[in-house]
Amino acid sequence: MANMAPAHTPESTGADGETRRDFLLHTTVAFGAVGTAMAVWPLISSMNPAADTLALSTTEFNLGGLQEGQAVTIVWRGKPVFVRYRTPAEIEAARNTPMNDLVEPAKDEDRVKKGKEKYLILVGVCTHLGCIPLGTKAMDARGDFGGWFCPCHGSHYDTSGRIRKGPAPENLKVPPYQFLDDTTVRIG
């Protein structure tokens, strides 16, 4: 009885003592990890924006044809964007407005790029209920302050796009933009 050998002795298949069971365990874990990664990849990939969405994320346009006092509307992300080449009188009126006369105080200098103050670029959606204000075309009503007028509920914006009268709670938004050169602007 003293010479009894253990009932089960795993046979070593490798020099460092690994068994066949260890090999199968490591192989199964590796296949499981690869399989999980292959299953999760489409989920993560589906969270990226589509190519058509990325294409609309920026818009470039040329200011070369725009004349003083003229405004145009371009489309960015499906929204109208007002671009106005302001006259010196419009810039002067915007800068001389007392801050206590504004519903949402904002300096004109903070709403335009330094050195390009004559160009005002705004998202053309009223901040009240999302209507598109008038004031871009020459024959449009520009409201009591010479900027834009929202015909839906009567909001009046000044020549800097700031709300001056009416139910709109905020100024017209300034989109992110940069000048690529003297006449080319990229929005977004």
31 phi/psi in degrees, rounded to 5: -65, -40
DSSP letter assigned to residue 137: S
In angstroms, the CA 151 to CA 132 distance is 8
Give the residue carrying structure tokens 């100024």: 171
pLDDT at residue 110 in the model: 87
Q: Reduced to 3 states, what is the DSSP secondary structure of residue 89?
A: helix
Can you tell me the distance from the alpha carbon of 123 to that of 161, in angstroms, rounded to the nearest whole number?
A: 9
DSSP assignment of 151-184: TTTTEEEETTS-EEESS--SPPPPPPEEESSSSE
Active site residue 156: no
Q: Mean pLDDT, consecutive 10-residue segments, the chain of 188 residues?
A: 55 64 90 91 84 75 85 87 89 87 86 85 87 83 84 88 88 89 86
Class of domain 54-187: mainly beta
The predicted pLDDT at position 34 comes to 92
Domain boundaries, given as residue ranges, for the chain: 16-48, 54-187
What does the pLDDT read at residue 5? 54
The per-residue pLDDT for 16 is 64
Residue 4 in 3-state DSSP?
A: coil
Contact yes or no for 185/60 (Cβ under 8 A): yes
Which of 26, 128, 153, 156 is the catalytic position? Answer: 153
